[in-house]
Amino acid sequence: MTVLPNSLHARDVAYHFHPYTNARRHERVGPMIIERGAGIHVYDDQGREYIEAMAGLWSVGVGFGEGRLVEAAARQMSRLPYYHTFTHKAHEPSILLAERLVRLSPEGLDHVFFTNSGSEANDTVVKLVWYYNNALGRSAKKTFIARQGGYHGITVAAASLTGLPTNQRGFDLPLPFVRHVTCPHAYRHARAGESEEAFADRLAAELEAVILEEGPETVAAFIGEPLMGAGGVLPPPRTYWEKVQAVCRRHDVLVVADEVITGFGRLGTLFACEHYGIRPDMMVVSKQITSSYQPLAAVLFSDAIYQGLADHSEAIGNFGHGFTGSGHPVATAVALENLAIIEERGLVANAARSGARLQQALAPFAEHPLVGEVRGVGLIAAVEIVADKASRAKFDPPGRVAFHLFERAQAHGLIVRAIQDTVAFCPPMIITQAEVDELVARFALALEETAAWVGAGMPAA
C-alpha cells in the first residue's frame, strides 16, 4: 500500500503512541485502520472485511453496529451527558445498573463501585481491601497472592497483580505487596503422570505454604481469573477452585474473582463463577458490561466488606477514592441496554451452543504437527503452537511462529490474537454456528500456510 505523506496512516505513525505495540515496528509497518463494524465483522479503510474473532479485545458481546446501544447513548447524552457520583450525587442509570448487577451476580455480592476500566477496578480492589483491613485494625494484612500467567490490568497496582513479564519488564514492577504462585495450566506445569486433580492438590498445597510462610495475619486476598484470558486462555484443572477456596477460607483470605473477560456469558453461563463454583468476596467486571461501546467497569463486594468500608469512612470523615467518570451516566445507560440485549436475545445460551461448536471444530487441530494443545470453554478458545509435539518444546524465539500465523489469518480475513506461542479466539456472543465454521475454515488456511513457512525454514519476509 502506498502511504501518502498526509494520510491517516502517516499521521498515526507520526503522532500516536500505541498500547501493546513495538513502536519501532509500528514506524515500519504502520496501522491497520478500522473504519466500521457490523455484527461479527469489521472493515478496514481499504474495504477489506474481517471476522473479528477476538470481539475487539475480548469484549464486544452483542457485536458491532448495534443500533440500540447507539440510541441508548444518544438518549442519555441529550438528557444528562455527564455528572459525577462524588459527595452524595447520583443519577438514574448508575443507580439502576448497580441494582441490576447485584441481582445478577453470585450470591453474597451486595454492593457496587464503578470505575472506567478493569485495570482501575483491580487497582480499586487493592485499595478497598487495604482500607477494609485498616478499618478492622489489621494493619499488617495487606499481601495479595496472584498467579503467574494471570492478567489483572496495567495500572501500577493491577500490573503488580498481573503475572506476565511483558507487563512488568521495564516498569520496575511488580511492587512487593504481591506474591505469585504457579500458573494452573496442566499442559505446561503438571508433572509427568500427574492427574488434573493431583495437580490441583499440589497448587492448593503451594498456596497454603505461601500463606503460612508470609503469615496468615499478613495475607489479605487471593485474586484470580476463573479462566485465565490474556495469559493464553487457560482453563483451570478440575477441582482447582474448590481446593483453592478451601485454603483461603481456612486462613481468612478474601477470594477475588476477576471476571473482566469471562463476565456476562462468555463461558455459556452468566458468570464464570457459576461454571467453576466460585463464591467470591469480591468480583470485578468490565468489557462485556457495555460490549465496550463505552468504557466501564465495576467492583462488586460483600456486605461484610461494605460495613468495614462504611465504618472507616465515618471515622476518617470521607472515603477518599473515586474517578471523574465513576458511574458515568452514558456508560451506565449503555450497560443497562447491553445487558437487556444479552437477556432478550438469549446470548448466554447462544454462547453455550456456538461455543460448543467452536470447541468441537477446533479440537481436531490437536493432531496437527504444529499444535501442542487446543483448549477453551464456551466462546473462548486457544490453539498453542509448538516446535515439537512430544517434548512440547517452544519455537525459538518464542512467539515468532504464532505471530506469523496471526498475520496469515489476517490475510484471510480473520482477526485473532497471538499470545506468545498461542493463538486465541473470543468472538462476539452473537456468532452463529455457521459463522463459527467460517471462522475455523479461515484459521485452517492460515495454519497450513504457516506450516509450509516453517517447513521452508521460516524465511524472513
Q: Which residues contact 285 (CB under 8 A, 6 or more apart)?
A: 101, 121, 259, 260, 263, 264, 297, 298, 300
Could you tell me whether strands 380-385 and 422-425 are parallel, antiparallel, or unpaired per DSSP bridges? antiparallel
Return the percentage of the chain with pLDDT > 90, whole number.
98
CB atoms near residue 458 (< 10 Å): 12
* The pLDDT of residue 4: 75
Spell out the domains of the chain, with CATH numbers in brackets.
Answer: 32-62+346-455 (3.90.1150.10), 69-344 (3.40.640.10)
Question: Average pLDDT, whole number, for the chain?
Answer: 97
Q: C-alpha grid cell for residue 216?
A: 496468615
Query: pLDDT tens, 294-323?
Result: 999 999 999 999 999 999 999 999 999 999
Confidence at residue 205, expressed as pLDDT on a 0 to 100 scale: 98
**What is the per-residue pLDDT across 10-26, written as a single tens digit (0 to 9) for each?**
999 999 999 999 999 99
For the packed helices 67-79 and 329-344, what is the interaxial angle rounded to 10 degrees?
150
281 band by pLDDT with thresholds 50, 70 and 90: very high
Model pLDDT for residues 348-407, shown as the tens digit of each residue: 999 999 999 999 999 999 999 999 999 999 999 999 999 999 999 999 999 999 999 999
Residue 111 to residue 93: CA distance in whole angstroms: 16
Q: Mind listing the pLDDT tens digit for each residue in 77-115? A: 999 999 999 999 999 999 999 999 999 999 999 999 999
Question: How large is the average pLDDT for residues 240-256?
Answer: 98
The x, y and z cell numbers of residue 151, run together, are: 492478567
Q: List the one residue out of 25, 76, 34 whose CA is nearest residue 57.
A: 34
Judged against a pLDDT cut of 90, whether residue 253 lies above it is answered with yes
pLDDT range class, residue 1, cuts 50, 70, 90: low
Q: What is the SS3 string spanning the chain?
A: CCCCCCCHHHHHHHHCCCCCCCHHHHHHHCCCCEEEEEECEEEECCCCEEEECCHHHHHCCCCECCHHHHHHHHHHHHHCCCCCCCCCCCCHHHHHHHHHHHHHCCCCCCEEEEECCHHHHHHHHHHHHHHHHHHCCCCCCCEEEEECCCCCCCCHHHHHHCCCHHHCCCCCCCCCCEEEECCCCHHHHCCCCCCHHHHHHHHHHHHHHHHHHHCCCCEEEEEECCCECCCCCECCCCCHHHHHHHHHHHCCCEEEEECCCCCCCCCCCCCHHHHHCCCCCEEEECHHHCCCCCCCEEEEECHHHHHHHHHHHHHHCCCCCCCCCCCCHHHHHHHHHHHHHHHHCCHHHHHHHHHHHHHHHHHHHHHCCCEEEEEEECCEEEEEECCECCCCECCCCCCHHHHHHHHHHHHCCEECEEECCEEEECCCCCCCHHHHHHHHHHHHHHHHHHHHHHHCCCCCC
